[in-house]
Structure formats: C-alpha cells, structure tokens
Structure 1
C-alpha cells in the first residue's frame, strides 16, 4: 500500500466531473456486496499494476489501444497483464453501471478510476456496511461535547485522540501533567501506559518468532533457567495468550505493600510464583496473567542476548520513530513526563502512591504519548514490522482465549476490534483499533479514567456507550422513559455499563444549577425508574417538585420515600407542612 499512498496525489488530479460521476453511479446502484468484494480483492491484489494503467490512460482523454497501454506502462505482455485489462471490461455489472456507448477502453478507463477510489478508501460503501454512521465532523463535535462533560463531572486529566483512515479526527489534551507546578498536559506529554506495554513485549517475542529464533509452540523451559518440571508442558504461545495456568504474582499478598517500593532481581520476582502449583491445565483456560508476560521478557533477553529495554529500542522505538516511548525509570530525567494523581472524591485528589517501576519490566513498564501509540497501532496495518501471515497470527484468537499474540480481540457490533487497556499508579490507557478507527485515551488521574473515555467513544461510534457520560447529551433533553430505554439497551450491549444513583443525581443537580428544572425532573424521575428501592431517589424528586410548587407530585414522591423507609425524617417533615 505504500506505493498506493504515493500515487494518491496524482489520482486526485483527475477531473472533478469525472470522479464525482463515478462515485455517484456507484452509490446509486449499490453493487451487491459479493460483487464489491470480488472487485476490491482483485484490484487490491494487483493494485500497483492497476495504477500504472490508470496513469497511462489518464494522459489520453480518448483512451488507448491495448498495445499502447502495455508500451506505456512497461508491463509484460503476459496473462497477468491481460487479466488486468480484461477484468473490468468483462464484468457485466460494471458495464451496466457505466451505461456508456463508448469504446471498451474508454469504459475501462473510467472503471479503473473507480477501482482506484475503492483502493484508496474514498468511497463510503464498505464503511456504511460495518463502520460508524457518523461523519468525521460529527465525531469531532460529539467527542468535544463528551469531553466537556468528562472534565466537568469526572475531573478528567489526560489526552484523547481519535483517528479515522490515518487522519486525526480529534486530538486534545486536558488537565495538568503536574498540578503542583501547574504544567498542563499536551499531546506530547509522556504517560505511563501500564499493560499496553504488553503489546510491545509480545511484538518482541513475535519478531524473534518471525526470524525463526523462537518456536511459539515449544516448552518455555527451553528458554528459561531454573524451570520447574510442571512448567514443561507450557508453551510460549500460552504465555502470550494468558492460558498458561501459572499464578499471576501481582495478585499475591507477598507482592503488595513494601514489596512494590523496592527493586527486585528477576530471580526474586520469579521465585514468588515458581513453586506455586498451576491454577489450570496449560491451554485450557484464559486467566489474565502478569507472571506470563514477566517470563516473556526474560525469554526475549535470553534469546536476543540484550536487555529487554535495549531490544525494544533497537527494534521498535528507533526504527519506527517512536521517539517519545521508552522504559519508565524513576532516576531517569524524562522530559514532559506526567505525574500521577489519585482521585479521593469529587473535589479532592492527591499524589499517587510510589512503586519501583523496575518491577513492572515486561508487564507494564513503558511510557508513551498518544501520537506514538497511534504510530504503533498503524504498524499492524502494514508489513513494515511483520509479514502478512504473522500479522494474521497476531490478530487471531488463541485456543480457549479472547487474546491473540499480545492483543485483546473481540467485535463491537459487527466490527472486529483489537485493543489493549492498561493501568498503573492511577495512570490508565486504552488503545483500540476498530475498522478504520483508532481510539486512544490516556489519563494521569484516577484508576480507569482513560479506559472509560475510550470505551464510551467506541460505543458512540459503533453501538452504545459504556458509561453514563456517553449518554449525557441525551440526558439534557430526552424524557425519563426514553432515557430508561437507552440505558437498558446500553446495558444489554455492555453489561458493565457504568451508571449509579449518584452519577444520575449529579447530572440532575447540575441541571438545577442551570435553572433547567423541567429537565432535572426528568433525570430525577429516571433515578426512581432505575433504582425503585431508593428512598433518596424519591426524596430528591419530591423536593424538586416542591421547588416549583407542584404539591401533588411532591407529596406523592414523599409518600413513596416513606414506603421504603418509614423513618425518613426529611420526607416526614415535608409532609407536615
């Protein structure tokens, strides 16, 4: 595709009347999906040769005979070239779409322009089948509004980036990299990315595999020192897919507290779980596992002969120009590094707790920026790092797992997604690739703020959001009944949909401050529908009706409150008046 991108400028120089006609014809007649796939696959597989033909034909408005096309393109007069010239001409639906009485070469010239637009992703047909229904402009407007809510209600601090077809649709920083020094976050701020680091560890293993230096299906004991006998049946592939059955050491009591503050040798870390019995038979069960990825880091070092940090620098950070990505070390001066903050309550936050990041090693020890993570996600679209066969293996679910080689894999609606979330010391990161979109959200305040933002944006683009914040725009004008339907649909789509009574109350309280009492009543009513056993939900609704002198509705809700808790003093007091 690199040559295709290089040709894009030349293709755009085609006459506007010509190109718009092709797109209009294509959109109007709605080619059958099977026909579209056949044409797209055929043209994509020989894309560079098609473009040579396009260039030659574009120089002659009246078309060219076949021999001159071959002479002009320097293509061989072989069966492959004949197929390139024949396929568009022989397809009956192409002829029908064009509907022209001109020569076949002229028809072919026009159709090749259409094929070029398909290759370059300039038509909307495929996207309308499985992609977002929103335009890039609509997406940017919605994310801007959503983030205003997130900052106002959740005190979001960090960076959000949305890319579509390689183009940034939205990119903005919020809050502070350092609140004590009043240094704002920027798009170049470097954040701890937690377990998103695992995608780099897995890529290191996979690169060694591509170079035939590692066998993914060999026992890990082939590459590890002091390997207990009951690890013999565990493979590297099972470590990658979290199906090894090994105990995850970060969940052990002995790996808490002061253990996190001190630096430890790799032997000391592995000794925490080396002698513990397996939790499941290798390969039979998925269980997210930090021990496995710690071992993968050691395997990279053993096979490559250099430290994991050096390997990542030499093979990824430097050649891929990930200039703002590296290993997070406390003693290292890292320009533009963000500090982490713990959100105690709505109005109070403090410095995050300290840990020794050396212990995070291959499981979560990197820092990066949103821009670098975008570059990293894009790598898996090309053969810059991995051959096509290997990339398919990376993005294929392992047996008994929803994990590939370093990535979580699932679908949102009908849209395949590969992604990874990460959290460490109140930093949270989510890197998600779905269709032609990349969504990145990173936060340095709160345990999962960045992750919630990313899931809401993905939900808005493709199905339903993941938290109440994703429907807050609707909460500013919809009725309680419609909002209840929306919440229920969101819960069906995303069972962990984040909503609770307090979050709903916060929205209603804010509407009251804006003197939007009518809509606030809809939101307080929504709370009674969502939480019918809550005395406070009915109390708040009753007090709001009382504020607009609607005594009938106020008394009804105070009585409902007392049915739940006959001792509620406030409801009793209101009823006495």
Structure 2
C-alpha cells in the first residue's frame, strides 16, 4: 500500500540501475538517426555527451528521480536521451512510447478543446460562467473563459480544500464525480476580483471543461477525441477515471531518502483531477501535441493571437525553464537561447515539461519519474530547470 507520507505529498497540479542512453530512433521517424542523432558530418551532435552527462548527474542525486527521458524533435528527426530506469523492479529504461501521467499539462489539452470551440464560434473568450454555467455560485458568474484559461479567475482551488484532501488521504483511489469537483468550494467567495491577479488553480480547468460540455452537449472525453486526439494523430493518449495505467508505463516513484523509492504510479485515481491533471500520454505523443497546440496548425490565427497574449512573470506549476509568462492554457519560456511555448505539470511520481518552438517544428518533452515543485524538493526543481534550459538550447540551435 502507498505510504501516508506519499499520499500527503499529493497535489494535482500533486538504488537505481546502471545509466544508459537509448537507441530508439527508428521508432520515432523513418529517417531518424541512432542514439542522440547525427550532426551534418555524420557523428553525434557536439552537445550530446554533455546532455547525457547532465541526465546521469540528475538521477545520481540522492533525491533525484530513478529515471529521466528527454525527447528533442526537430522536423522529422528525434533525439532520445534517457538515464536511470523507468521501472526499478526490472531495470527497464524509459521509452518514448511509455504511458505516463502528464499531470497539469492536461490543462493545455482543456485549453485546446476550449480554443477550438472558440474557433467554431460555439464559445467566446468573453463568455462568463454565468452565461454558460448558471448553476455555479452567483459570486463566480462574472468570471470569463479567458480568465479561467489564464488563471486570473480568482476561483478557489478545490484541490486545496480540506474536505477534498481528507477524502484523498483516507482513500487515494476514491472515485469522485469529476463534474462535481467544484462543489467542494462552491460556498467560498472568489479569492480576488477576476482579471486583477494571477493564481494558478486547478478549479479553473474543471470549469473550462464544464463550459465545453455545456455549449456542445457532449462529454469532455469525447470532445478531446474529436478536437485534439484525432487532428493531432494521438492514439496512446487518454483521460481515464481510475488509477490503472495502460501498459507499458513509466513507473513513478516517491523519493524520500534514506527510504527506498516507493512506486506510486497507481497511487491515486484520476477522477479527482480530471481536466486539470488526469490525462495519460507518452513522451512521443506529448511532443506531437505540444507542436500542434503551441505551433500554428491547430488554431486560427486570430485565436492563436489571443492564446499567446502573455502575462510576464506568471509561471506554470512547477516553473518551466528560463523566465515564465502565462498565456491562455500555455506558457512562454524565455531561455538564454530563445523562446519556447509549453506547459509543465507535477503529480505523485511524475514531473513533466512539454515545449515547442513558436513555429511548431521543434519540441522538447522532459519527463522525470518523481515529483518536484516549488514546495516539494525545491532544490531538485532548481537543478531540473537548469538541465531543461540546456536541453532547450540544444533544441533551438541549428545543429
């Protein structure tokens, strides 16, 4: 059974084997090279050895993840780097087709659904909760879809509610009615006047999904399939309600030295995070999604301009590489080597980054199989962001 300590570390957001670099290129693109990929002269990129060492150093830390996988995609070529293990019990390395919890990157998927409905003129960014969800608390009625997507709504966060947390701590696999998660905070006023402040809240994207359902009369899970999975070509991405992960999967661990890492991959059911953090995907498919959503192909030019209107200084949770700014269910990461658009997430056993170049031709997915955030092992997060920025620079360089 999962330990109480690992359960307490939940926030929807909630000895390693020998190190290796994988040779997985043929699985990703027909013309792709072996290992970390070739440079124009026929060898490995000059940065490949440095990047590999950084991953090895990350998993070698006492509080570091048992494993890590980073996938850099440039056009039709992908470079796959791994260190450590995706399953301590077998010593199996991480793989780009492994299923994994993407945590709050699920918020980018709800953003994709909502913004595609805006393009279809079924929703407006200025539509309010009162317009679309009149049964929600009257105090919330002036909150707009735009404010929900940019975390400036002021909605109280259901996942911080004491009653919600007590249920999770008593039964981590409790099955919630996902469409009633906002009931936990329905009696609470807004935290601030909508549009005046930024505060990352899991309630926001629950409301976004409910608005999408209300204007279409269709289940959010079906809207994901129609508006996101099919257009992007995702076949291994899903929004389950239970705690099981599809096989094979990247195992997630609670790492709290001196205790041995604890497998928490299937610790918590996803009905309690739903549109804010419940999606399961793979490194390969996560890259395809972020290139479409952060690039120019999925949305109209007008809607994309709204999506990419950023608030400087407002960060994803956890913060991504470089300087962060918040758009509509997407973040801008300004690194020393250039700009990426993307999203991050963390939940027990997993910390995720998915980012793309603005033109949608290059992407980086970076997955570790333990949780870190500004409140959970912040020193590990600082090291992680440094490595992520170095990978971002490798992605943005011409060679």
Bin of the TM-score, shorter chain as denominator length: 0.7 to 0.9
**Residue equivalent to 1:138:** 46
Q: In the aligned structure 2, how far is the partner of 1:174 from the partner of 1:307?
A: 39
Normalization by structure 2: what TM-score? 0.74
Report if the CA contact (8 A) 2:309-2:327 is conserved.
yes
Q: By how many angstroms is 1:210 displaced?
A: 0.5
Helix, strand or coil for the counterpart of 2:54? helix
Q: By how many angstroms is 1:400 displaced?
A: 9.5
Q: 2:167 aligns with which of 253, 258, 283?
A: 258
Q: Structure 1 residues 332, 342: CA separation in 2 closer, same or farther (over 3 Å shift)?
A: closer
Alignment of 1:79-90 (within 5 A): none
Q: Which consecutive residues of structure 2, in runs of 5 or more, have no partner in the other structure?
A: 1-42, 315-324, 394-399
**Residue equivalent to 1:387:** 300
Report if the CA contact (8 A) 2:100-2:245 is conserved.
no
Matched, 1:221 2:135: no
Report if the CA contact (8 A) 1:285-1:400 is conserved.
no
Normalization by structure 1: what TM-score? 0.52
1:15-71 CA deviation, whole Å, 9 max, x = no partner?
A: xxxxxxxxxxxxxxxxxxxxxxxxxxxxxxxxxxxxxxxxxxxxxxxxxxxxxxxxx
**Residue equivalent to 1:76:** none
Alignment of 1:159-198 (within 5 A): 159-164=69-74, 167-168=77-78, 170-198=79-107
Q: Which has the higher helix share?
A: 1
**Residue equivalent to 1:444:** 369
Q: In the aligned structure 2, how far is the partner of 1:457 from the partner of 1:338?
A: 20
Q: 2:210 aligns with which of 298, 302, 311?
A: 298
Q: Structure 1 residues 453, 380: CA separation in 2 closer, same or farther (over 3 Å shift)?
A: farther
Q: In the aligned structure 2, how far is the partner of 1:462 from the partner of 1:267?
A: 37
**Residue equivalent to 2:318:** none
The farther-off stretch of 301-310 and 351-360 is 351-360
**Residue equivalent to 1:418:** 341
Report if the CA contact (8 A) 1:250-1:290 is conserved.
yes
Report if the CA contact (8 A) 2:291-2:355 is conserved.
no
Q: By how many angstroms is 1:386 displaced?
A: 1.2
Report if the CA contact (8 A) 1:241-1:405 is conserved.
yes
Report if the CA contact (8 A) 1:286-1:400 is conserved.
no
Q: By how many angstroms is 1:392 displaced?
A: 2.3
Q: In the aligned structure 2, how far is the partner of 1:299 from the partner of 1:311?
A: 12
Q: In the aligned structure 2, how far is the partner of 1:328 from the partner of 1:421?
A: 20
Q: In the aligned structure 2, how far is the partner of 1:397 from the partner of 1:305?
A: 31
Greater radius of gyration (CA) = 1
**Residue equivalent to 1:206:** 115
Report if the CA contact (8 A) 1:439-1:457 is conserved.
no
Cα RMSD (Å): 2.9
Helix, strand or coil for the counterpart of 2:209? helix
**Residue equivalent to 2:386:** 456
Q: By how many angstroms is 1:211 displaced?
A: 0.4
Q: Structure 1 residues 176, 440: CA separation in 2 closer, same or farther (over 3 Å shift)?
A: same
Q: In the aligned structure 2, how far is the partner of 1:452 from the partner of 1:161?
A: 20
Helix, strand or coil for the counterpart of 2:186? coil
Report if the CA contact (8 A) 1:219-1:233 is conserved.
yes
1:177-197 CA deviation, whole Å, 9 max, x = no partner?
A: 433355442121111000001
**Residue equivalent to 2:24:** none
Q: In the aligned structure 1, how far is the partner of 2:384 from the partner of 2:312?
A: 27
Q: Structure 1 residues 188, 389: CA separation in 2 closer, same or farther (over 3 Å shift)?
A: same
**Residue equivalent to 1:157:** 67
Helix, strand or coil for the counterpart of 1:439? strand
Q: In the aligned structure 2, how far is the partner of 1:399 from the partner of 1:160?
A: 27
Q: In the aligned structure 2, how far is the partner of 1:230 from the partner of 1:264?
A: 24
Q: Structure 1 residues 399, 277: CA separation in 2 closer, same or farther (over 3 Å shift)?
A: farther
Structure with the larger RCO, 1 or 2 (CA within 8 Å, 6+ apart): 2
Q: Structure 1 residues 164, 347: CA separation in 2 closer, same or farther (over 3 Å shift)?
A: farther
Q: Structure 1 residues 273, 323: CA separation in 2 closer, same or farther (over 3 Å shift)?
A: same
Helix, strand or coil for the counterpart of 1:319? helix
Q: In the aligned structure 2, how far is the partner of 1:290 from the partner of 1:232?
A: 18
Q: In the aligned structure 2, how far is the partner of 1:248 from the partner of 1:375?
A: 30
Q: In the aligned structure 2, how far is the partner of 1:230 from the partner of 1:371?
A: 42
Q: Structure 1 residues 363, 155: CA separation in 2 closer, same or farther (over 3 Å shift)?
A: closer
Q: 2:152 aligns with which of 227, 243, 246?
A: 243
**Residue equivalent to 2:199:** 287
Q: 2:262 aligns with which of 347, 350, 357?
A: 350
**Residue equivalent to 1:132:** none
Helix, strand or coil for the counterpart of 1:138? coil
Q: In the aligned structure 1, how far is the partner of 2:281 from the partner of 2:333?
A: 25
Q: In the aligned structure 1, how far is the partner of 2:94 from the partner of 2:142?
A: 47
Report if the CA contact (8 A) 1:442-1:451 is conserved.
no
Matched, 1:433 2:359: no
